[in-house]
Amino acid sequence: MEIVVASHNPGKVAELKKLLEDLPVKIYSLDDFEVIPEVIEDGETFQENALKKARAVFAATGKITLADDSGLEVDALQGAPGVRSARFGGEGLTDHERNLKLLEMLEEVKDEERGATFQCCLAIVGPRNLEKVVNGACRGSIIRQPRGGSGFGYDPIFLPGEYGHTFAELSPEIKNKISHRGRALEKAALFLDGYIYSETHK
């Protein structure tokens, strides 16, 4: 079975491939297709954006599509940057620049008030009206200086509650077990496992 991961982000695609490696599927990314219409993620929720992206890519490729929208919700910023995490601070900024911008905004916030949650909504869209949405979350806090060289996005400044290391300091194996995306993917993998079984035993 062929599945398209609706992303150009190599870090995200690598994470998803790792999490789905036990399933009998061939995985593509958007980079494997010459023409995919750009999807404007203008929804007000992670679910709206994930479904919009998955529906558009399925329509363009005809293959089961797995699309996620995820972001960081910071308590002291009333849930921002949230659905605008990838565009936080303006277009064209690097991940590092976004991290520094966020840390600057939190400079006066006490350590005990720097709580944050990574959220992930993952949509699966396919033939015969297949649509499934799953969610995952990871609670933690925002540290004062970036730490670690792996991961992407806000990983260097997010300290998950279970560990004394940022997402960017953890091994991919540990991060995938506890991350918002890992938890959503675990649910998606269970669903796809059942879906593949039912499709091959008709």
Examine the residue annotation and report whether 69 is marked as an active-site residue of this protein. Answer: yes
Alpha helices in the chain (DSSP H): 10-19, 46-61, 95-105, 172-178, 180-200
Q: Between helices 180-200 and 10-19, what is the axis angle to 10°?
A: 50
Name the catalytic one among 22, 42, 69, 75.
69
First to last CA, the chain: 15
Q: Rounded distance, CA 106 to CA 88, Å?
A: 14
Task: Yes or no: say if 30 and 6 are a contact pair by the CB < 8 Å rule.
Answer: yes
Q: Rounded distance, CA 57 to CA 75, Å?
A: 33
Which active-site residues does the annotation give? 69
